[in-house]
Amino acid sequence: MDALFPFAPPSPASVLQAANRLKGLVHRTPILRSTAADEKYSAQFFFKCENLQRTGSFKFRGAFNTLAQFTDAQRERGVITFSAGNHAQALALAARLLDMPALVLMPETAPTSKMAATREYGAQVLTYDPMTEDRQAICQRLALERGMTLVPPSEHPEVIAGQGTAALELLEDVPRLDILLVPVGGGGLIAGSLLAVQAANSNCRVVGVEPEHANDAQQSLRTGQIVQIPLPRSTIADGAQAQALGPLAFGLIRKHVEDIVTTSDASMVQAMRFFAERMKQVVEPTGALAFAAANAAGLDLHGARVGVLISGGNVDLPRYARFLAD
| Mean pLDDT, the chain cut into blocks of 10 residues (326 residues total) | 60 97 97 97 97 97 97 96 90 97 91 88 92 87 94 94 98 96 96 98 97 93 93 77 90 96 94 96 96 86 97 91 88
In angstroms, the CA 241 to CA 49 distance is 21
| Catalytic sites, residue numbers | 59, 311
Distances (CA, A) of 322 to 85, 232, 253: 20, 21, 35
Among 114, 100, 108, which residue's Cα sits nearest to residue 146? 100
Look up the pTM and report it: 0.94
Predicted local distance difference test score (pLDDT) of residue 233:
61
Q: Find the Cα–Cα–Cα–Cα dihedral 13, 207, 26, 81, rounded to 10°.
A: 90
Predicted local distance difference test score (pLDDT) of residue 4:
46
Name residues whose C-beta falls within 8 Å of residue 245's C-beta, 6 or more positions apart in sequence: 186, 187, 216, 217, 220, 226, 253
Confirm if 224 and 257 have CB atoms less than 8 A apart.
no
Predicted local distance difference test score (pLDDT) of residue 133:
85
Predicted local distance difference test score (pLDDT) of residue 1:
37
Predicted local distance difference test score (pLDDT) of residue 123:
95
| Helices vs. strands in the chain: H and E counts, helices first | 14, 10
In angstroms, the CA 178 to CA 192 distance is 18
Among 151, 186, 189, 154, which residue's Cα sits nearest to residue 170? 189
Confirm if 321 and 58 have CB atoms less than 8 A apart.
no
Strand order in the sheet with 179-183: 31-32, 44-49, 305-310, 179-183, 205-211, 259-263
Phi, psi of 222 (to 5 degrees): -70, -35
